[in-house]
Amino acid sequence: MRIAEARVIVTCPGRNFVTLKIVTDDGVTGVGDATLNGRELAVTAYLREHVGPALIGRDPARIEDTWQYLYRGAYWRRGPVTMTAIAAVDTALWDLKGKVAGLPVYQLLGGRSRDGVTVYGHANAATVDEVPAAVAVLVADGYRAVRVQCGIPGLAKTYGVSTTGDRYEPADAAVPSEESWSTERYLAHVPAVFARVRAEFGPGLRLLHDVHHRLTPIEAARLGRSLEPYALTWMEDPVPAELQDGFRLIRAHTTTPIAVGEVFNSIWDCEQLLREQLIDYLRCSVGHAGGITHLRRIFDLAALYHVRSGSHGATDLSPVCLAAALHLDLSIPNFGLQEHMPHTAETDRVFPHAYRFSAGLMHPGDEPGLGVDIDEELAARYPYRPASLPVNRLEDGTLHSW
Ligand code: EZ4
Ligand code: CO
């Protein structure tokens, strides 16, 4: 069996997704997610122009060798575009291997280590008074873990907090829209949000919060300490993670657990944070961190340092990525939590899938491979629309991290 075609499909059923479909000379197919939010066509070109031609004629069974070929063989290593493209190839080859074997991918990874994958949902509200109702919706849906984000008094818009009431992840204008930020207003406000949620929902509900890389280490230390009474499961991306020594400072001041990794793309982004035990959850995704092969290697390293997985699963990661994540989550020993935001009905129709949600848990299903596909005819009806994440400025106009 040989790879005969590597097809890249770009579609926008509500938001943009890039999918790689590998087809063998016997007509077996495998899919991988190649979506990089706001930079979709860079990965598309990388796959179409550089990776695809090199795949033709290769043995699809040689997943590890193909990974090494695309990583070491390219000379230019790492980076989000490269690693997303490698991830798509790797994921598609695991899907294909599962179909050839007649087994779901989690069986190829060693079988299940748990009954289901605990997922967390997003509760977003404009004001503290509206937060309990937003959390209650998720609790009623069965979620046992909830990420809580709230508008900040004095700021017109807060990233991740919908102004329309929808569950959403923004990527709107072709040229990024601009939002404003105030660390002072934010730090003064967040503890009251969690005080309210804990008071209303008691100690049993797992609570999470995403800081979106907006603080300095000492500010993050203060936030973590101020949230200690509310026993969060994690404080996510408290600071930009290029300066990894900075996490020592946060660690020295707070017992609020720390999660990072959604923008990481290789094991080398994780190594210092793991080795120095500076984090508690690692949030790399199958789609952006080199596929199932590489992410499993990352999570194995994490396990040595008591770090659990908490993979990114926002709606800009396609159903193909979510399916792959669920197979990995089900199999690894050090699974922590999986992020889950339901895709729109349009997206779900373009990507028919076997995975399901029930009582706070997800299961990838038992179809051979990943149990997900792309309906290419339907996908063709949704042409690509340029869309970007917003940028973030301080109130005096200074561009800020987000
Ligand atoms: O900003 O997926 O935890 N989830 C997140 C998301 C990310 C988007 C970026 O593409 O932080 O909202
Ligand atoms: Co995040």
Domain residues for the domain of 17 are: 3-104
> CA dihedral defined by 184, 191, 146, 212, rounded to 10 degrees?
20
Q: 40 in ligand 1 pocket by Cβ < 6 Å?
A: no
- Section 196-224 average pLDDT: 98
DSSP label at 160?
T
| DSSP per position, 26-66 | TS-EEEEE---TT-HHHHHHIIIIIIHHHHTT--TT-HHHH
- Section 110-131 average pLDDT: 97
Q: What confidence category does residue 166 fall into, taking pLDDT thresholds of 50, 70 and 90?
A: low
**Is there a single domain that holds both residue 52 and residue 198?**
no
Q: 312 in ligand 1 pocket by Cβ < 6 Å?
A: yes
| CA gap 46, 48 in Å, rounded | 6
Q: Per residue in 307-318, pLDDT tens?
A: 999 999 999 999
Number of Cβ within 10 Å of residue 154's Cβ equals 13
- Section 254-274 average pLDDT: 98
Query: What percent of the chain is modeled with pLDDT above 90?
Result: 93
Cα of 76 to ligand 1 centre, how many Å? 26
**Is there a single domain that holds both residue 277 and residue 232?**
yes
**Is there a single domain that holds both residue 149 and residue 276?**
yes
Say if 97 falls within a structural domain. yes
Q: 90 in ligand 1 pocket by Cβ < 6 Å?
A: no
Q: What confidence category does residue 156 fall into, taking pLDDT thresholds of 50, 70 and 90?
A: confident
Q: 210 in ligand 1 pocket by Cβ < 6 Å?
A: yes
Ligand 1 atom having least distance to the Cα of 283:
3
Q: State the amino acid at position 298 in one-letter form.
A: I
State the first-to-last Cα distance of the chain, in angstroms, to the nearest integer.
Answer: 46
| DSSP per position, 7-35 | EEEEE-SSS-EEEEEEEETTS-EEEEE--
Q: 97 in ligand 1 pocket by Cβ < 6 Å?
A: no
**Is there a single domain that holds both residue 115 and residue 230?**
yes
Question: Of the residues 122, 212, 288, 340, which is catalytic?
Answer: 212
**212 an active-site residue?**
yes
What is the pLDDT at residue 164? 59
Residue 3: CA atoms inside 13 Å, Cβ hemisphere, count?
A: 27
Give burial (CB, 10 Å; 0-12/13-18/19+) of 391. middle
Say if 282 falls within a structural domain. yes
Number of Cβ within 10 Å of residue 259's Cβ equals 29
Q: 209 in ligand 1 pocket by Cβ < 6 Å?
A: no
Q: Considering only CA atoms, which of 122, 146, 114 is closest in space to residue 328?
A: 114
Cα of 237 to ligand 2 centre, how many Å? 7
**Where a domain ends, among 104, 131, 152?**
104
Say if 279 falls within a structural domain. yes
**Is there a single domain that holds both residue 85 and residue 205?**
no
Cα of 54 to ligand 1 centre, how many Å? 32
Q: In the predicted model, is pLDDT for residue 1 greater than 90?
A: yes
Mutate to test the pocket of ligand 1, among 18, 40, 168, 169 (most ligand atoms within 8 A of CB): 169
| CATH number, domain with residue 196 | 3.20.20.120
**Is there a single domain that holds both residue 274 and residue 145?**
yes
What is the pLDDT at residue 165? 57
Structural tokens at position 209: 């919060």
Q: In the predicted model, is pLDDT for residue 162 greater than 80?
A: no
Q: In the predicted model, is pLDDT for residue 170 greater than 80?
A: no
Structural tokens at position 165: 């009431």
Beta bridge partners of 145: 206
- Section 13-27 average pLDDT: 98
| Overall size of the chain counted in residues | 402
Q: In the predicted model, is pLDDT for residue 24 greater than 70?
A: yes
| CA gap 377, 231 in Å, rounded | 48
Q: Name the average pLDDT for the chain.
A: 96
Ligand 2 ion local residues (Cβ < 5 A):
210, 262
Give burial (CB, 10 Å; 0-12/13-18/19+) of 233. buried
| CA gap 134, 130 in Å, rounded | 7
Q: In the predicted model, is pLDDT for residue 121 greater than 60?
A: yes
